[in-house]
Structure 1
Amino acid sequence: MKKTLFNIFFLVLGVALLWLAFKEQNFTLIAQELRKVNYSWSIPVLGVSLLGQASRAMRWKLLLDPLKIDQNKPVSVVNVWWALMFGYFVNLGVPRLGEVSRCVAVRRSENIGFEATVGTVVAERAIDVFCLFLLVVFTFFFQFDIAADFLRQYIFAPLEQSLRQKQNVLYILAAAGGCFLLLLGLLWRVLIKRRWFLKIRKFMVEVLKGLMSIRYMRRPWAFLGHTLFIWFCYFLMTYCWFFSMPATQSLGIQGGLFLLVLGSIGKSVPIQGGGMGAYHFLVTKGLSLSPFLIAATPALTLATVIHLTQVLFSLLVGAIAAVVVLYQNRWQR
């Protein structure tokens, strides 16, 4: 029930953000903008997407290699890639479940412990979050005016207005936080004696083992190279689409970096459909800022085209991956 409510909440949030992005738009004008798009740019974007996902599979393989029971048989990068695409496919419907799904797929095809595999995924995510943090810092310092304008208009101003309407909200949050910490301390004393809790601790130890696989990588520089290449592909997957529309052709590298940050944050929100709504809202609002000053209609059209092509790519390749993963063991026998 808790997971169901969690998914319903974020689905509603995604629909609400999608509604906010489209509510004041003229759909006739959006249709006109969609007809102006040069969809031949989807070919290089598709090529870059495939290269990026292949590099991501190779990077994950570097973490999985030390964990394989049979060290005489290396981890197959093809199996890892299919598992990865299967995970993306599942994530479209149930965010975060795809991470578990790709671990299950790898366990079946490569005979690697499930808990340790989860640890490698946690390590991957932690590294990607750190990279996103560095991009945010880079954007803030080197595009300070744009970032400050975005924060002022869409974060601080609404927050200030909300706090003025509810002056005691900070006190309520502080009191709730204190009660939560107190209950957590009491709960720990009770749980530490329970057998099922000890099993959870054992599971977390195995996850930690997967995290520590970074220390035993045979080629750490290859891991770093793949990480940089993956984020470069993410940048190109946005930047290439700028040239498909007359209104966005002048955005340049500065606009590409800024939208990479906003888009990555939007997709990080656990909303069904790959950050549906959050991506559209953030990109549309971001492009309205100086020095971009892109009108809402072409900005929303660009966000829709980028997001929709990525979702269709994940659906198509992910559906094939689902078939491969389900029947992989039969084919191998």
Structure 2
Amino acid sequence: MNRKSLFLLILTVIAFIVAYRLWGSDFDWSLFYSSLWNIQISWLMASIAATFLTYVCRAVRWQVLLDPVKPIRIKPLISANLVGFSAIFVLGRAGEVIRPLWVARREQTPLTASVATIVVERFLDTFMIIMFFGWSLLLVKPPAAADRTVKLMKDASWVMLIGSVAAMIFLFFFRANIHRIVRYVRLAKIASVMKNFSAGLSFLDRGSSFGLAIAHSLLLWIVISLSFWFMMLGMNFQFSIQAATLVMVGSAIGSIAQIPGIGGGFQAGWVFCMTTFFLIPPEKAIATSLVAWVASYVPTVVAGGLYMISQGLSLKDLRTAPVAD
């Protein structure tokens, strides 16, 4: 059995297990299979194009964050994002380290400083997810049965927002007081790491840079929302962009927890939103979640892999190349 057949078999087994556990003999397999093929390629291709555009948006934002550490051209950052997100999709959250490691080794930036910018990116993305969630709820009216779920999600959003704001305040404080803080650190190595991490937060010293990072984050998540909207149109869901954004938020939150190479969290978030907020039959929700996962993840993994092959690179090279930090 080749890898492609094995991959499809794994997806089918996962879908079967989930369907059996949740709905047993009531699961409509004919609707499931028909939903897998009820697609419009043109809209899915538009969604894939928008997905690749998000890596350009991420690269522009990252360039702003890294500029005080070391000015880097946009092209290497685009390839770093492409390879980095390919690693995340294949390795799970363990792949998060690839992006800063890639830039540190290929552009000779301090690794800890690069990690600091990734941390800030995650907080900015959290802000955007919460903001887009609130915007979508203002314009989309979920069914009455979902009121309790909406309330729980709102409460969770407030917790995430408060936590993110507190973390950003801490980063501002850490950056402004780094020289005082390291005085109390006895180990020189740890003090050096803390200084390099603080260097990655240098953009906080410039109000214009922080404002640009927020603006680029807003643009990024608009493009991500458009990608989801195009994807849903490609699966013949006549959803508004606000409804697609609500599904995007659920999928983004779900993707925090995923099985390397398979996902799981993304599909779970998708199915939850589709069945809870839009009363889509579970068979159709599960089938379209698999299509969405393939359309969102596979092109990135293929493009990232082809780029590394064309450059004669491997993940092993990242482990052996020298780091500036």
What TM-score comes out, normalization by structure 2 length? 0.71
- Quick check: 1:314 aligned with 2:300? yes
Larger radius of gyration: 1
Q: Distance in 1 between matches of 2:31 and 2:290?
A: 14
Seen in structure 2, the aligned counterparts of structure 1 residues 129 and 270 have a Cα distance that, compared at 3 Å, is farther
Deviation at residue 319 of structure 1 after TM alignment = 0.7
1:94 and 2:91 aligned: yes
1:219-246 deviations in Å (ceiling 9; x for gaps): 5554333211110111111111222234
CA distance in 2, matches of 1:17, 1:201: 49
Equivalents in 2 of 1:20, 1:233: separation in Å?
Answer: 31
Q: Give yes or no for the alignment of 1:122 onto 2:122.
A: no
Q: Is the CA contact (8 Å cut-off) linking 1:136 and 1:261 kept in structure 2?
A: yes
> What's 2:129 paired with?
132
SS at match of 1:125: helix
Percent sequence identity is 24
Report 1:142-153 matches (<5 A). 143=140, 145=142, 149=146, 151-152=148-149
- Distance in 1 (CA, whole Å) between partners of 2:14 and 2:190 is 36
Question: What 5-or-longer segments of structure 2 have no aligned partner?
Answer: 1-12, 154-183, 319-325
Q: Does residue 1:281 correspond to 2:281, yes or no? A: no
> After superposition, where does 1:1-333 map in structure 2 within 5 Å?
19-20=17-18, 23=21, 24=23, 25-68=27-70, 74-140=71-137, 143=140, 145=142, 149=146, 151-152=148-149, 199-216=189-206, 219-246=209-236, 248-249=237-238, 251-273=239-261, 276-289=263-276, 292-323=278-309, 324=311, 326=313
The amino acid across from 2:230 in the alignment is C
CA RMSD of aligned residues (A): 3.4
In the alignment, is the contact (CA less than 8 A) between 2:66 and 2:114 conserved in 1?
Answer: yes
Q: Distance in 1 between matches of 2:37 and 2:60?
A: 38
Alpha-carbon distance, 1:297 to partner = 1.9
Greater shift after overlay, 27-36 or 147-156? 147-156
Contact preservation (8 Å) 1:67, 1:116:
yes
C-alpha distance in 2 between matches for 1:37 and 1:202: 54
- Aligned CA distance change for structure 1 residues 301 and 207 (closer, same or farther; 3 Å): same
Q: Secondary structure at the match of 2:67?
A: helix
In structure 2, do the counterparts of structure 1 residues 216 and 17 end up closer, same or farther at CA, with 3 Å as the change threshold? farther
Classify the secondary structure of the residue corresponding to 2:99: helix
Q: Secondary structure at the match of 1:86?
A: helix
Residues 146/26 of structure 1: CA separation in 2 closer, same or farther (3 Å cut):
closer
Deviations 1:293-314 (A, max 9, x none): 2212222222111111112112
Q: Distance in 2 between matches of 1:32 and 1:16?
A: 18
Compared CA separation, residues 18 and 153, structure 1 to 2 (3 A) = farther
Whether contact under 8 Å (1:21, 1:277) holds in the other structure is no
SS, match of residue 234 in structure 2: coil
Query: How far apart are residue 32 of structure 1 and its match?
Result: 1.8
Are 2:203 and 2:209, in contact at CA under 8 Å, matched by a contact in 1? no
| Counterpart position of 1:162 | none
Which string of whole-angstrom CA distances, capped at 9 and with x for unpartnered residues, describes residues 121-166 of structure 1?
A: 111111111212223344455557559816449979xxxxxxxxxx
Q: Which moved more, 1:59-68 or 1:96-105?
A: 96-105
- Work out the CA distance in 1 between the residues paired with 2:219 and 2:185: 46
